[in-house]
Amino acid sequence: MSFKFTALSVDLAEDLLPLSAVLHQRGVPHRIFEESGRQVLKVDQASRIEDVTSLYEAWRSGQFKIELVKKEGSQNSPEFVSWRKAPVTLGLVVLSFCGFLLIYLNAPTQWLAQLTFTPFNTGPGGQVQFYPSSGEYWRLITPAFLHFGWLHIVFNSLWLWEFGARVEKVMGPANMLSLFLVIALVSNVAQFVFGGPGLFGGMSGVVYGLLGFAWVAGHLQPQWKIQPALAIMLFMVGWLVACILGVVSALGFGAIANAAHVGGLLCGAALGAAFGLLSRVTTK
């Protein structure tokens, strides 16, 4: 389409965006260019010039006002969340980095052994020996803070903030803390049940739990703008399937706690269904 008919020529400092929005709304094809130090609005037909100039003069004379209203983002739109609105999520990220540094800086084995799901010590030749715990209930949660490499901690922290901050902004710190505790417990127990005693850890199970929560709760309660974009959901599920099939381990990423991922995802989805349905019932 050729725009060769000049309808307006104004100073560069003048904001023609509101006028352009109205012209688009009325189906008037046009383009705005810069020519010879001026802002020029051109149309495709000479017959449209009078309509544009009349509308412009009426707007500038105050006969009507044009207000651009920012469209409220959809539930799939990315949204920056200030750390002040997500203190629990921020705290989880910080504690995760602390758990990573504990391993990265080669802290004493007995320190690490206090945070694993199953207590252990190292025997002759550095062989790891596990033994039963008694009454140490914090072990149901603390493995979530242990991370065994840079990729592990960075990947988990980014996704934890992406999902956790948005959920916490809507659900509040108390609910966010409760979600973390339940999902971490379920994902860690699932990994122990299906994988047996081992040095597993990481926030991945919680990340997948928050993903499941945000997807289901956001679907059932559209007022909560927490549902992730479909592309993100497909990527995360695809990554989970690749982990289960052994593709990720074969690429050199190490052992993957698949049971924790699946357990977290299912737990989060169940919690999302419960919270979402309860919200719909109570807001009717």
The one catalytic residue in 204, 219, 249, 279 is 204
Asked whether the predicted pLDDT for residue 70 surpasses 90, the reply is no
* 219 labelled catalytic: no
More reliable by pLDDT, 200 or 70: 200
Say yes or no to pLDDT of 284 above 60.
Answer: no
pLDDT tier at 74 (50, 70, 90 boundaries)? Answer: very low
pLDDT at position 217: 94
In order, the DSSP letters of 75-116 are TTS-----GGG-HHHHHHHHHHHHHHHHHHTT--HHHHHTTS
Burial of 211 (0-12, 13-18, 19+ CB in 10 A): buried
Percentage with pLDDT > 70 across the chain = 90
| Per-domain boundaries in the chain | 5-60, 83-282
State the chain's mean pLDDT as an integer. 86
The pLDDT tens digits of the residues spanning 26-49 come to 888 888 888 888 889 998 889 999
Q: How far is CA 275 from CA 47, 161, 280, in A?
A: 58, 21, 9
Band the pLDDT of 73: cuts 50, 70, 90: very low
Give the C-alpha distances (Å, rounded to integers) separating 281 from 75, 104, 200, 221, 270.
Answer: 20, 48, 39, 10, 17
How many CA atoms lie less than 13 Å away from 76 in the CB half-sphere? Answer: 6
The CATH H-level superfamily of 83-282 is Rhomboid-like (1.20.1540.10)
- Separation CA 141–CA 130 (nearest Å): 18
Query: Measured in whole angstroms, how far is the alpha carbon of residue 102 from the centre of its chain?
Result: 27
Tokens of 224: 């909560």
**Catalytic site residue from 47, 82, 261, 279:** 261
pTM score of the predicted model: 0.69
In angstroms and rounded to an integer, the radius of gyration of the C-alpha atoms of the chain is 28
For residues 1-18, give the mean pLDDT.
Answer: 85
Supply the pLDDT for residue 252: 64
Amino acid letter at 198? G
Mean pLDDT on 104-118: 85
pLDDT of residue 161: 95
pLDDT band for 71, please (50, 70, 90 cuts): low
Query: Which is higher by pLDDT, 121 or 73?
Result: 121
Write the pLDDT tens digit of every residue in 131-174: 777 888 999 999 999 998 888 899 999 999 999 999 999 999 99
Is residue 261 annotated as part of the catalytic site, yes or no?
Answer: yes
Asked if pLDDT for residue 208 goes beyond 70, the answer is yes
What pLDDT is attached to residue 75? Answer: 44
pLDDT tens-place string over residues 50-59? 999 999 999 8
Q: Is 144 exposed, middle or buried (0-12, 13-18, 19+ CB in 10 A)?
A: buried
Span of 48-57, 241-250, 257-266 with lowest mean pLDDT: 241-250
Domain 5-60, second-level architecture: 2-Layer Sandwich (3.30)
